[in-house]
Amino acid sequence: MSEGTSTSLSVCVRDPVAIVRVIGQAKFRAATDFKNLLLQLQQDGCTEIVLDLTQCPLMDSTFLGVMTVMSRKCEAAKKEGRPCSLKLYHPSDRILEALANFEILGSFTLIKDPPEVGAFKRVEESSTSRLDLTRTCHEAHKALMETCDENARRFKDATEFFEKNLREEEGKK
């Protein structure tokens, strides 16, 4: 895949289960749409979200960080007695390696067979503002930093960069 290949998201919902299919390299440009989709599915009552990664060869740290944030939201919901799960179907070896390297693999349930659902609907790309993209990148990297000391060192500069840009962008409003 070329560097310019965009990430495509599609979804199929069969209450209370949603399957989100991620096609292409999951990169930061699609992370805000991905985050918003997962949040909307949870708000709509989906208690089980399966990420179908069959056609997703790799993910960047922002996408992985968004997954980490959503995993934490599920854990918080479970502590409040509400059902919530985020499962991964068919992640590539590179994605599994990244999840393990960032020490977040244990945050997800890996499944061998996806639930039976109907047809998928493509999620249209939104025109994400620079501010929203920066905010998503900051939240994602901050979540990764909180998982272990190595990630705190690894993402310190990136998180500070996003934080600085956030302050500047918010100051323009």
pLDDT at 72: 94
> What separation, in Å, do the N-terminal and C-terminal C-alpha atoms of the chain show?
37
**What integer pLDDT is reported at residue 68 of this predicted model?**
96
Q: Rounded to whole angstroms, how far apart are CA atoms 81 and 103?
A: 26
Q: Is residue 44 part of a domain?
A: yes
Q: Is residue 143, in this structure, part of any structural domain at all?
A: no
The per-residue pLDDT for 2 is 41
Give domain status of residue 139, yes or no: no
pLDDT, position 46: 93
Number of domains in the chain: 1
pLDDT, residue 1, reads 34
Structural domain span for residue 18: 8-124
pLDDT at residue 116, as a whole number: 83
With beta carbons less than 8 A apart as the criterion, state whether 135 and 31 touch: no
Answer whether residue 157 is part of any domain: no
Per-residue pLDDT, 149: 96
pLDDT tens, 114-149?
888 889 999 998 888 999 999 999 999 999 999 999
Whose CA is closest to 32, among 71, 65, 57?
65
CATH number at residue 62: 3.30.750.24
Q: Which residues of the chain, if any, have pLDDT below 50?
A: 1-3
Reading the block at residue 58, the tokens are: 């790799």
Residue 91 domain-assigned? Answer: yes
Count Cα atoms within 13 angstroms, Cβ side, for 90.
Answer: 14
How many angstroms separate the Cα of 28 from the Cα of each of 12, 18, 63, 75, 110? 23, 22, 6, 24, 23
Q: Is residue 110 part of a domain?
A: yes
**What is residue 118's predicted lDDT score, i.e. its pLDDT?**
84
